[in-house]
Amino acid sequence: VNTDPKRAILEILVDTGPQSRASLAEMLGLSRAALSGLSRDLIETGMLREAEVAYDPNKLGRPSILLELDPGHGYFIGVSIEQQNCPAVLADMHGEIIAEAILPTSSTPPILADIIARGVDDLIRGSGIGREKLRGLSVTLSGFVDHARRICLQSAILGWQGVEFAAMVEERTGFPTSLENNANAAAVGEKLFGRGRDSADFSVVTFGAGIGCAHYIGGQLFRGHAGGAGELAHCTIELDGAPCRCGKRGCLDTIASHHAVIGAAREARLNAESVQEIEALAQIGDASAIRILHRAGSALGLAISHVIQLMNPERVVVASVEGMMGDLFRTVTRQSLDAHVLRSLSAVTEIRFDDVNQNFWARGAAAIAAHRYLTEDKTSDASAEGELSVGKSSA
Ligand SMILES: [Zn+2]
C-alpha cells in the first residue's frame, strides 16, 4: 500500500470502486478519526464525493455512506489510432463519455499529431468542459509500445518503428500525454471503467482490425519486461504456415484476423466483403464460408486456450467490435477453446464474449490517462512535504 495515505485511498477507490469510510479505515489500518480527516480533505479538494448509500436490509442500524471518486473532478481524452480513422473521446473520472469524435488518420507521425491536436481542441470546445479540467491525454495504437519512454517501438499496421509519438502530441496539445498498446488500454478500461473491478487476475482478448491481448495480474496491468506481453496475434498457430506481415510464418494473425478472413473469402471467390457477409453466407449453408469461419474460430479458440493455461486468469473477456464476430465464428471459437483447455482450468475460468462499439479503444485510452493521473507517481511535481501531488498539471 502506498505510504501517502491520501494516494492510498485513491488507489483503493480506483481498484475496487466506492467504499465506506469504515472499510477504508480497516483496509489502510487507520483509525476512523484519521480516515475522516483525510476523506474530508479529499472531498474539499474535489477528488472525492459521498456516493449512494449502501443499505443492507439484513443489518440494523444506520446505512453507511460510500465514498467515490468525484466524476467531475477531472476529464480525460483518449484517442485510438486505427486503420481507417482515429476515434477520440472525452470522458469523466467514471468513464462516462461526455463528447466523442471520429478523426481522420495518417501514417505520417507529425501529420497525425497535427490532426489529433486539432481534433482534441474541437472535442474540448464541443464538450463545454473547461480546458483546465482536462487532466491528461492518452493515445493508443496496435503495436509494440515502450510505455515508460512513450515510444512506439514497432507497429506493423502503421509501419512505424521507434516513433516518439506521445511527445509530438504533448508538444502540440500541452496536455500530459501517454502512449499505450490498444489491448493494454482495453484491459485498463475494463478494470477502471468496466466490469473488471472485482477481479485481480483477468485477460482481455480484443478482436477488431487486429487481434490484441492483455493481462491483469495481482491487480496490476502486466506489460512484460519490454512491453511485449500479450502478443497473441503473432503467436505461431500453424507450423510453416502462410507468411505473416511480422516476418514470421503461421501466426494467429494469418488465420483468424479480420484481414485474414476477408482474404480467405476473396481467394474462395465468395461474394463477401465483410465478416458479417461471410457469416450470412454460412447461415445459408455456403460450404466455403463455413470452412473459413471454422478455420479462423478454431485457431482463435486454440490461442485463447493457451492464454488460459499460461496465465490462469479468473476471467477472459473476448471483446469484438460489433459485427466483427458473428454467431458461427463465436461458437467455433468457444468450442475450440473448450476442446483445448484442461478441464480443471476450464471449470474455474469465466469466458465472456462482449460486443463493443467503435469507441471502445478510445475509451480505453481515456482510462489509461485516468489511471496514470490517479495512481502513478509524478516525480516531476511531487512535493517534498508529502502533499497530495495528484491534481497538478506539469503543463
Ligand atoms: Zn506474425
Taking the centre of ligand 1 as the mean of its atom positions, its distance from the CA of residue 340, in whole angstroms, is 22
Tracing cell 490517462 back to the chain, one arrives at 369
pLDDT of 330 reads 96
Taking the centre of ligand 1 as the mean of its atom positions, its distance from the CA of residue 242, in whole angstroms, is 10
Taking the centre of ligand 1 as the mean of its atom positions, its distance from the CA of residue 260, in whole angstroms, is 12
What nine digits make up the cell of 331? 461458437
Taking the centre of ligand 1 as the mean of its atom positions, its distance from the CA of residue 253, in whole angstroms, is 6
Closest Cα partner for 90 from 100, 102, 81, 82? 100
Per-residue pLDDT band for 249 (boundaries 50, 70, 90) equals very high
Percent over 70 (pLDDT), the chain: 91
Sheet strands (E) in 169-244: 177-181, 202-207, 211-217, 220-222
Task: Measure the CA–CA gap between 208 and 258, rounded to whole angstroms.
Answer: 7
pLDDT digits 0-9 by tens, 63-88: 678 899 898 889 999 999 988 899 99
CA distances (Å), origin 283, targets 287, 289, 323, 332, 354? 10, 9, 15, 14, 21
- For residue 384, pLDDT beyond 60: no
Per-residue pLDDT band for 391 (boundaries 50, 70, 90) equals very low
**Angle at which helices 32-44 and 21-28 pack, to 10 degrees?**
110
What nine digits make up the cell of 77? 481524452
Mean pLDDT along residues 346-362: 92
Give the DSSP H or E segment for 271: none
List alpha helices for the chain, DSSP H: 5-16, 21-28, 32-44, 109-127, 165-173, 182-192, 253-256, 258-267, 275-283, 287-311, 327-340, 343-346, 360-375
pLDDT of 394 reads 37
Closest Cα partner for 376 from 359, 364, 390, 392? 390
pLDDT digits 0-9 by tens, 190-248: 988 887 778 889 999 999 878 999 999 998 899 988 888 999 999 999 999 999 988 99
pLDDT digits 0-9 by tens, 370-380: 988 887 654 43
Mean pLDDT of the chain: 89
pLDDT of 308 reads 97
Taking the centre of ligand 1 as the mean of its atom positions, its distance from the CA of residue 157, in whole angstroms, is 11
pLDDT of 221 reads 92
Tracing cell 502506498 back to the chain, one arrives at 2
pLDDT of 387 reads 36
Say if strands 97-103 and 151-155 run parallel, antiparallel, or are unpaired: unpaired
Q: Quickly count helices (H) and strands (E) in the chain.
A: 13, 16
Taking the centre of ligand 1 as the mean of its atom positions, its distance from the CA of residue 254, in whole angstroms, is 7
Taking the centre of ligand 1 as the mean of its atom positions, its distance from the CA of residue 212, in whole angstroms, is 12
Taking the centre of ligand 1 as the mean of its atom positions, its distance from the CA of residue 245, in whole angstroms, is 6
Taking the centre of ligand 1 as the mean of its atom positions, its distance from the CA of residue 30, in whole angstroms, is 51
Taking the centre of ligand 1 as the mean of its atom positions, its distance from the CA of residue 137, in whole angstroms, is 30
Environment class of 76 (CB within 10 Å of its CB; exposed 0-12, middle 13-18, buried 19+): buried
Environment class of 23 (CB within 10 Å of its CB; exposed 0-12, middle 13-18, buried 19+): middle
Taking the centre of ligand 1 as the mean of its atom positions, its distance from the CA of residue 308, in whole angstroms, is 21
Tracing cell 491536436 back to the chain, one arrives at 117
pLDDT of 91 reads 96
pLDDT of 358 reads 85
Residues 126/103, Cβ–Cβ less than 8 Å:
no
Taking the centre of ligand 1 as the mean of its atom positions, its distance from the CA of residue 237, in whole angstroms, is 10
pLDDT of 87 reads 96
Per-residue pLDDT band for 41 (boundaries 50, 70, 90) equals very high
Per-residue pLDDT band for 60 (boundaries 50, 70, 90) equals low
Taking the centre of ligand 1 as the mean of its atom positions, its distance from the CA of residue 264, in whole angstroms, is 17
pLDDT of 323 reads 79
What nine digits make up the cell of 369? 490517462
- For residue 389, pLDDT beyond 60: no
Q: Classify 353 as helix, strand or coil.
A: strand
Taking the centre of ligand 1 as the mean of its atom positions, its distance from the CA of residue 249, in whole angstroms, is 7
**Angle at which helices 109-127 and 165-173 pack, to 10 degrees?**
40
Task: Measure the CA–CA gap between 236 and 206, rounded to whole angstroms.
Answer: 18
CA 361 to chain centre: 6
DSSP string, 316-349: EEEEEETTSS-HHHHHHHHHHHHHHS-HHHHTT-
Per-residue pLDDT band for 57 (boundaries 50, 70, 90) equals low
Taking the centre of ligand 1 as the mean of its atom positions, its distance from the CA of residue 247, in whole angstroms, is 6
pLDDT of 15 reads 79
- For residue 364, pLDDT beyond 80: yes
pLDDT digits 0-9 by tens, 96-151: 999 999 999 999 999 999 999 999 999 999 999 999 999 999 999 988 899 889 99
- For residue 59, pLDDT beyond 80: no
pLDDT of 55 reads 61
